[in-house]
Structure 1
Amino acid sequence: MSKDATATRLLLVQAARRRFAFDGYRATTVRDIAADAGVNVALINRYFVSKEGLFRACLDRAVRDLDPGEDATGHLDRALRGLIGHVLRSPTDEDSMQLMLLLRTSGDEGVDTIRRETLHRYAERLAQAVGDQVTEDLLIRAEIALSVVLGMTMLRTATRVEPLASASEDAVAGPLDDALRALLTGPTA
C-alpha cells in the first residue's frame, strides 16, 4: 500500500472513530465520514469494503492499545504493564473515543456482535498471558480484569472523577497492578 493510501486509511479511521463514538453507528453515514476525512466516499469501500468493515477497523485500532500482544502468552507481567500503561496514558480525547467504541451499543446487532467478539478475543489473549490453559474460570477473571481497566479509563476520561482523574502514575499503577494480579492469579484461577 502506498504512503498516500496508508495516510488516507488513517484519516478515514480517525474520522469514523469520532463519528461512531459521538453519533453512534446507526446515525453515522459513510458520506459524513468521508467529508470529515476530506476524501471521496468511494475510498471507504475501496479500503474497508463497507461501513461495517470500517467499524471493525476502528475497533481493531481501539483494542490495539489494550492488547497484550501475541507474544504475551505466559507473560503476565508484560500484559499487566500494557494494561496499566493504557490507564496511565489516559485521559486523552483519543482514548475516550476508543473506549466509547468498545462500550457503546450501536443499535445494529451485527456491529454489536463484532464489538463483543473483539472484547472476548482480547480477554482470551489476556487469559493466555496467565498460562497456556485457558479455563472458563480464568476467562471470566480476564473479562473482569478488562472491565476494571475499561472502568478506570472511563472514570479518568469521560467522567473525570477526582482524585482518580488527576492521580499520579505511582498512585494508580501499584494498586491497579495489585488488583489485576489478584483477579488473574487468585486462589481459584
Structure 2
Amino acid sequence: AKEAGRPMDDIAERLEEVRERWVMRFSDAALRIAPAFTRAAEKTATSALKRSLSSADIPRVKFTMTPEMRQAVDGIVAENVNLIKSIPEKYFTQVQTIALQSITRGRDMNYMTEELQKQFGITRRRAENIARDQNNKATAELARVRQKALGITKGIWIHSGGGSHPRPLHVKANGKEFDLDKGMPVGDNG
C-alpha cells in the first residue's frame, strides 16, 4: 500500500517524464522550424526589395549570400531556436501546476478546464503576437542587410496600416527618412 502523499509524488514524476519528452520534441522541432522560418523571411525581404528597386527603375540586381547576410540569418535562426525551445519549459510548468492544483482539490476537473482555457487563451494570443513580431523583425533585418549590401544607407518609413490598434509612433513616423544603421526610433511599444 502507498503511504499518504505518495500518489502525488507518482503523479509529479509522470508529469516530469512528459515534460522531458515535450522539451525534446520542441528542441528537435526548433532545429527544423527556425531555419525554414528564416528562409521564408529572407525570401519575403528579397522579393520586396526587388519590387522596390524595379519600381524605382534601378537595374536588376543578382542577390548573393554575403557574409553580412549569413551573419543576420544565423542570428535570426539562433534567436528563433531559443524562443521555440523555451515554449515547453514555460508552459508545461503552468500546466503541471494547474493539474496538481486540480488533484489537491479532489480532482476538480471544472477548475482545471477553466484554468487551462483561461491560461492558454492568453498563451495563444501571446504566441500569435510573438510570431508576428519575430516575422516582422526578421524581415526588416534581412531587408536592411540586403539594402546595405547595395549601398543603400537611408530609408523612408512607411506605416503599413496593419492591425486594428496602430502604434502612435509608427503612424507619426510615416514618410520620414531614417538611417538604416540607426533604424527609426519608434521603440518596441511605439
Fold agreement, TM-score > 0.5? no
The structure carrying a bigger helix percent of its residues is 1
TM-score bracket relative to the smaller structure: 0.3 to 0.5
The structure with more radius of gyration:
2
TM-score by length of 1: 0.32
